[in-house]
Chain A
Amino acid sequence: MKIKVISRNPNTYQRETVDQRNKIVRNFNTPADPFRAQTEYTRALNATKLERVFAKPFVASLDGHVDGVQVLAKHPSRPSTILSGSRDGQVKLWNLPSRSCIATLDAHRGLVNDISVDNSDGNSFVTVGQDSQLKYWKIPSTIDNNITTPAHSIALEGIAYGVSHLSYSSDFVTCGEDISVWKAFRETPLRSYNLGTDTIHTCRANPVEENVIVGAKSDRSIFVLDTRQDVPLKKVTMKLRPNKISWNPIEAYSFTVASEDYSLYTFDMRFMEHPIQSHQGFTSAVLDVDYSPTGQEFVAAGYDRSIRLFKSREMTSRDIYYTKRMQSVLSVLWSADSKFVMSGSNEMNIRVWKANAAEKLGPLTKREKQAFAYNSKLRETYKNHPEVRRIANHRNVPKHIFSAAREHRVIRDARTRRDLRRAKAAGLNEEESYLPATQKSMLGDAES
């Protein structure tokens, strides 16, 4: 008779002393766990809930300005330094890690209209103000309240509303009655472009293509200009005023426009007849926009006292930040390390927020990293399950935003119905008359 009964040697399974680790014996031929799908779903649901629990985006508030923060600018080579200009003409330089003001300059009388830092070496910056002055400031290698007077200042003929350095260069452009290209320390511009009688209220130089500039005029038009040419390349007109523009730093051909009509529009420089994507969610005018250095996302400031974060090709925002005391936001900035966003608002504060609301700051252990990676993968995999989607997308918003959004929805629906009826009365069918939101925003007079 042959016989054998399972008889295990406990030494194979148990540790010898308490100081050792417990032994793990695997059997890779065990059949799959029948509940693995449900267990994974449960974990995904829990991960989504935890993400919302830990979503505490507010990091710090930088106070010191005595008037609304009109403009924020980042330093191209020092990620920890940001610059801010307020409505009383003061410019402040901040150190983000210590959350302290490292320099205060009485730069202008009246508003500081725009600030731009030198792109070639980062050792200087230019401010323009409502007092028709252009001031040129040096940045010492260590800043400690040691900037007092501008290195150079120029009295302009008209007010300059915007200034932006060309990429990889210390040349810059200003906009106002016209567009002027300047070299540092020169009394007069290198070149000026007269684009008509309308004021140009914003301009931005492309961060990749050295000579391309986009700007917006008060006749609601957006133009693209090449500084090597005499006339603008392209010009299109929107139905409502574009407030600010930001280039996508990775896709050199696309930029996003913050518009007065509560939306943002992403344009492709090569096909400017209409935007390629509209971004909605604000319940009031959008005042500023800034791209993340990754080019995947951007942040926008709303007059409705909130800031929203968008994925660059998505219509709805992925998050909304607000606090009880934050008033209408005039300027936003996405930090150079892409981990934070800054917002400067009307009630004199600069607020620092996390770019990912639930992210844990500081060094992480290996196990923490693994757990976060696993959870984010789970959330990604199960994001379309109704329960997971509901939890992930839900945001509590202030009452004024909630009710305004509802009201706007009603208005929008009514307009859609009206348009349909009009088309029907005109004898058009539905498909012919349908216009997407991106095309509705344009006047349709594209020039090139």
Chain B
Amino acid sequence: MAPKTEKINLSATDVTPASGAEKMSWKDYKKMKQKIGKFPKKKQEFKQNGKGKPEEKFTGLTKQQKLRHDTGAKTIDPSSMRSKLQQEKMKLTKEKFEKRIELTAKAEKRLVEDTGFLGADDGEDNMLTYSVRQKEIQQNVDLAAATKHFELKLPKFGPYHIDYTDNGRHLVIGGRKGHLASIDWQTKHLHCEQNVMEKVSDVKFLHTENFIAVAQKHYTYIYDNLGTELHCLKNMYDVARLEFLPHHFLLAGGSRNSFLTYVDVSVGKEVISFATKSGNLDVLCQNPANAIIHTGHTNGTVQLWSPNSKEPLVKILTHLSAVKGIAIDEQGTYMATTGLDRKCRIWDVRMFRQLHSYSLPFGVANVAISQKLHVACAVGNYVQVFQNMHNGSCIEPYLVHNCGGLVTDLKFVPWEDVLGIGHASGFTSMLVPGAGDPNVDTLRSNPYETKNQRKEREIKQLLDKIQPELITLNPDDINKVNEGLLELEEEERKKILYIRPVKVEYTPRHKMRSKKSGWQMEARKNMVKDKIRIERNIEKHQVENEVFGENQEDQEKKEPKKKHILDRLKL
């Protein structure tokens, strides 16, 4: 036996012994590394200062800054869990939450703008914010903001439909009598104005302000920012509402004869057009978080459509009467619907569940949701804006405005405290303090975009164009493994294993009377055996056909079926 030697030599003149290095245990290795300093030591408890508490890391955040984002992580008590494992798990969860608070607070410190608000002064009692008129607001805000409230009186060509670009900089208005105008509404610079001499049902910006889709009496047309007609989309016929899906470059149109049409505007091809068989599609909006089209119907349902299915993905009974307006917030969490039953309902679109319901005056029509979840409802000639409708704490309108004409279209301007209203006697830009997100991430959407930046964005957007096949209720599906299908396949395979051809045992009864010779007996035996075997085989084939489909090669010959990218996710 070799003498027991000291295994670790930590001096600088460490030499491997001539007999070769001895195998070191993991424990010793760790110890050695720790001494050298490469292996991180376990965190030691701070016990020097006697309090037994580690000193708090300096984060540069005040308590108040953190408190603003606290969701109650401090109240989590890991020691309340029974098992050690659960305690550890809980500890990790708590750390994660605390980290989140810190990160959010840190990010907030870098923000440059503050959210808008409207409320009583410190000394005053509760004030009715909805009694504040737009003029008063205009007088009390700075000059630049005051110019954001304006009215365009165009009673001859109304009622108007409106649309803003994604960065909220440009506005297009289209009057029923054919008036079409595109404006940079902040500088009040008019890009173009013309009369298309036809009924205009809806207007929509495509990915930039240079393209405007207009649903006219028969067809849908695309104009550029100077008002030149670029295309006539004859396959979008008699369209009542238009929607543009910017990630997919799809223009979706709901027509009065119940057809829903998707056109890829980057290549100019129709993706799909089908009859929804549910009447006039004049209440239509998109879910900006998953590019699903929501349509409202006279029977009170809201139906969800994707270009990949001719049947609605989901049907929700939202109202007991006709649906008049739908709006979905940017994150795809809340949906607001209004109906003829004078109700405004707030839904969780992810679960298709109603959260809250509010009764409004008669004449409820359009609805819109802002970035900060303010809800605007059109009620006859009035527009009522509500705060906190999504959490159920809303008891009165936040702001009310009389437009002087029947309201036909409502759009909140992204990144601004402004609500655009299209109505029978023109267009109103209404100030709604606190409606928009004040802090822009200019890499995603830039209201101060230059021409070069716009060109670059256009190209990047085109490179990242998502194929229409990928439109699903949950856009994260693409990164999931279809475990259900795998299990199902395995089970089916197992089934077949049990229906193997069984060895057929059959011995004919020996009959004394029969005078059949040996080979005759053998033939009879084989006949019976074959019969049983054939029956068994037929049964087996049937099961196989059920599981694998018909003989795969035959089927492919019949119709070479194109495989869809997301087929692997189907059960």
Contact = CB atoms under 8 A, between A and B. Distances in A.
Interface of A: 1-8, 10, 12-14, 22-31, 33-35, 37-39, 41-43, 46, 385-387
B475 A27 contact: no
B140 A34 contact: no
A385 B141 CA distance: 54
Contacts of B113: 6, 8
A172 B132 CA distance: 99
A2 B141 contact: no
Contacts of A39: 247, 464, 466
A39 B141 CA distance: 41
Contacts of A37: 475-476, 478-479
B204 interface: no
Nearest to A387: B565
A38 B478 contact: yes
B145 A38 contact: no
Interface string B88-121: 0000000000000000100110111111111111
Given A4-B433, A43-B463, 12 more contacts: A6-B116, A24-B443, A25-B439, A25-B440, A25-B441, A28-B107, A29-B104, A38-B247, A38-B470, A39-B466, A41-B478, A46-B463
Nearest to B568: A386
Interface stretch (B2-10, B33-41, B234-242, B447-455): B447-455
Q: Which 9 A-B pairs have the closest CB atoms?
A: A28-B107, A27-B439, A34-B289, A7-B145, A13-B448, A5-B145, A27-B441, A5-B417, A29-B107
B363 interface: no
Contact of B141 (A3, A24, A34, A386): A3
B478 A2 contact: no
Given A1-B127, A22-B450, A39-B247, A34 B116 contact: no
A13 B117 contact: no
Contacts of B450: 22
Contacts of A35: 247, 291, 466, 475
B111 A29 contact: yes
B555 interface: no
29 contacts: A1-B119, A1-B136, A1-B140, A3-B118, A4-B114, A5-B116, A5-B141, A6-B115, A6-B145, A6-B415, A6-B416, A7-B142, A10-B448, A13-B440, A26-B441, A27-B437, A27-B439, A29-B107, A30-B441, A31-B330, A34-B289, A34-B290, A35-B466, A37-B478, A39-B464, A39-B466, A41-B470, A41-B479, A385-B478
Interface string B128-161: 0000100011001110110010000000000000
A1 B129 CA distance: 9
B454 to A, nearest CB: 11
Nearest to A24: B442
Most chain B beta-carbon contacts within 10 A, residue among A1, A22, A31 = A1
Interface of B: 104, 107-108, 110-121, 124, 127, 132, 136-137, 140-142, 144-145, 148, 247, 288-291, 330-332, 415-417, 431, 433, 436-444, 446-448, 450, 453, 463-467, 470, 475-476, 478-479, 565, 568
Contact of B331 (A34, A41, A386, A387): A34
Contacts of B118: 1-4
Nearest to A384: B481
A6 B433 CA distance: 7
Contacts of B140: 1, 3
B565 A6 contact: no
A2 B127 CA distance: 11
A260 B440 CA distance: 66
A2 B121 contact: yes
B438 A6 contact: yes
Contacts of B121: 1-2
A151 to B, nearest CB: 40
Nearest to B132: A1
Q: Is the interface of B mostly helix, strand, loop or mixed?
A: loop
B441 to A, nearest CB: 4
B290 to A, nearest CB: 6
Q: Is the interface of A mostly helix, strand, loop or mixed?
A: loop
A28 B290 contact: no
A359 B347 CA distance: 52
B141 A42 contact: no
Given A1-B118, A1-B127, A5-B145, A25 B112 contact: yes
B141 A7 contact: yes
A383 to B, nearest CB: 13
A268 B440 CA distance: 60
A41 B437 CA distance: 29
Nearest to B435: A6
B417 A1 contact: no
A259 to B, nearest CB: 34
Contacts of B565: 386-387
A27 B132 contact: no
A73 B340 CA distance: 86
A109 B202 CA distance: 88
B119 A2 contact: yes
B145 A33 contact: no
Contact of B466 (A22, A28, A42, A387): A42
A8 B145 CA distance: 9
Contacts of B111: 27, 29
B448 A5 contact: no
B431 A13 contact: no
A23 to B, nearest CB: 8
A3 B439 contact: no
Contact of A34 (B112, B443, B464, B475): B475
B110 A2 contact: no
A28 B148 CA distance: 27
Contacts of B464: 39, 42-43
A13 B463 contact: no
A227 B124 CA distance: 101
B478 A5 contact: no
A30 B447 CA distance: 16
Contacts of A33: 444
B108 A29 contact: yes
